[in-house]
Structure 1
Amino acid sequence: MVVTNIIRRNMSHNVVAKLINNAETAEKKLAELRSKVIKDLDEIKRFKLEEKIRDLSKENDILAIKVENAKAELIRLETLKGIKQYSIPGKTTSAINNNEAAPIKTEIQEKPVINKKEKKEKDVKKTKEKSSDTNTIDTVDVRKLDFRIGKIIEISKHPDADSLYVEKIDCGEANPRTVVSGLVNHVPIDQMRDKIVMVLCNLKPVKMRGVTSEAMVMCASSPEKVEVLIPPSEAVPGDLVSCEGYPREPEAQLNPKKKIFETCAPDLKTNDEKVACYKGNPLVIPGKGPVVAPSLKGVNVK
């Protein structure tokens, strides 16, 4: 009887020890599962946060493009109404368009007595400063060119010129622009219809065989071949084209006498990757990619 009781007691101890061990194992597995669930939840939250940041960044890029479009349109409308645009040394065009005015001094100061020598020195200094300011204002480079993305919505041959197309191009404005292009001998008309293109929008409108052209379709050009440049796949009408290292400060309308485009043209070329560049700096739509030629490398862009 005593032996039986001892056996039963030992069995009970074994069962209890096994139950305790199983409970500890289960608790450990629960802790591991809890840790994995928490980690998965953190990963999901992080992914959603990154996705939200990407969406906000994309919205910000779109808003920035709309703001730049609105500024460019305001400058164009003011120019058409005869309102002269001014550049202020040390200020960008955007600052001028936001009506940022320099502080006005209201203090009345006594006029100092200046002898002739001091007056002469001051006059020389003013002349140098004025010359320096003029150089700043008259800087001519790609930032003065208003490159935008457009879509050809209508195209036909010029009624009075066999080598010219007449296109209607949507540039994201209230009305499409009429553009005359000498591409009949280089690009079939079917390849031009509904095509997304890069357009120079601030040229002075000019009549070409009786039709007023309001912009220019930009192409890669060699003596043997001409190709219409291709914007990135996500580009839409109205997108602004920028050049890395040259913040946009386009003239409302290029003055033909200043020959701004003619000055920039020799430095507008495609590089070895077929990317359109100014002095080796890519022409891009921020957040979307560069403008490229279908096949031509190291040729002029015009």
Structure 2
Amino acid sequence: MDLGEVFHPSLAAALMKLDPEDGEKIMEYFQTHALLTREKALLQASVREQKKLLVENGKLKKDIEQLRFQLQDKQRRRVAKALLSPNHAPGTPVNQLPPTAGSEAASSPPSGVLDQWSKATCRQKGVKRAPTAAPPLGRELPVDVSRLDLRVGRILSVGPHPLAENLTVQEVDVGEKAPRTIVSKLPRKELDGALVVLLCNIKSCKLKGVASQARLLWCFQSDHAVELLAPPTGSNPGDRVTCLDFPGEPDRELQSKQRVWERVQPSLQVNARGVANYKGCGLQVKGKGLCRAWSFTNCNIK
């Protein structure tokens, strides 16, 4: 590269005139410095672009994950409806249910669960779908503690809420790729690092402009006497909290219209020994012990 491409010709001529012996070396130094500065600027721009792409990629992955969970939840509910259908004999696979009366027995698809590909195929071929029978009254999914996704979390930080003096914002590790943000009335910063129990499958909601992604479980003796429910010693973030007498997998997300939490919560208690329980059965982390209140007995869990 010619020196004139980097520096003004008059500057090069002036340096050569002032110092004929070292003028060329000085210009080479300036040229090298200018080239390094240009390459550094290009590298910084590339890094910024890479970070931007990583953020966008993370958002896309999160959206895809949410859509996948929604699809799985819909499929699970369709399977449940099919299994509760009067047409379903015990032991019969869902995909072998008999067709509903009035449909074409030979060409109609089986009642029950049809995925998106099957639905598109039926539309293309003009096949009439058999209507799915509604579950009979009184045979809904049970409403108990097994529907709740209770997990152990570790408080990473507690900070003030930007818009509400009586609220704080916590970052809590629940064993996922990123911590969850929780808005509550947790008052003490010395609880940083404490293990807690969280309800993780409630719908995310904004409290004074900050999205809360889970719910801390508290032990209440009165409005002014509260403390956090504690998991057993040795628990790790992400460990499931279960109830032996109520097995089952939790809902992907609790539906507000079903009011599952509101119907289960009154039966969550701390007994006289300080052990958390649901209808007399202790809440446990399998292989590690029972959840307890720190100091309270005979109180409610909210």
TM-based fold match above 0.5: yes
TM-score bucket of the superposed structures, by smaller chain? 0.5 to 0.7
Inter-CA distance 206–263: structure 2 relative to 1 (3 Å threshold):
same
Q: Which residue of 2 aligns with 1:9?
A: none
Q: Which residue of 2 aligns with 1:26?
A: none
Tell me, in whole angstroms, the C-alpha distance in 2 between the residues paired with 1:203 and 1:226: 22
- Say yes or no: does 1:138 pair with 2:159: no
Q: Which residue of 2 aligns with 1:102?
A: 93
Q: Tell me which amino acid in the other structure corresponds to 1:148.
A: R
Deviation track 1:180-221 (CA, whole Å, cap 9, x = no partner) reads 11222xxx221x201111010001000000000000111101
2:68 to 78, 82, 94: 78
Q: Which residue of 1 aligns with 2:196?
A: 197
SS in 1 for 2:138: helix
Q: Larger C-alpha radius of gyration, 1 or 2?
A: 1
Structure 2, unaligned stretches of length 5 or more? 1-63, 84-91, 103-132
Q: Which residue of 2 aligns with 1:212?
A: 211
| 1:79/1:85 contact within 8 Å kept | no
Across the aligned residues of Structure 1 and Structure 2, the Cα RMSD in angstroms comes to 3.0
Tell me, in whole angstroms, the C-alpha distance in 1 between the residues paired with 2:216 and 2:292: 14
SS in 2 for 1:135: coil
Q: Which residue of 1 aligns with 2:166?
A: 163
Structure with higher helix content: 1
Number of equivalenced pairs:
198
Q: Which residue of 2 aligns with 1:172?
A: 175
Deviation track 1:229-287 (CA, whole Å, cap 9, x = no partner) reads 11111100010000120013211111111111000111011011111111111100011
Q: Tell me which amino acid in the other structure corresponds to 1:275.
A: V
SS in 1 for 2:139: helix
Structure 1, unaligned stretches of length 5 or more? 1-73, 93-100, 112-128
SS in 2 for 1:143: helix
Tell me, in whole angstroms, the C-alpha distance in 2 between the residues paired with 1:89 and 1:220: 35
Deviation track 1:109-165 (CA, whole Å, cap 9, x = no partner) reads x99xxxxxxxxxxxxxxxxx9654x53333211110000001111220111111211
Q: Which residue of 2 aligns with 1:238?
A: 238
> Which ranges of 4 or more aligned residues in structure 1 deviate by more than 6 Å?
none
Inter-CA distance 161–273: structure 2 relative to 1 (3 Å threshold):
same
| 2:218/2:301 contact within 8 Å kept | yes
Identical amino acids, percent of aligned pairs: 34
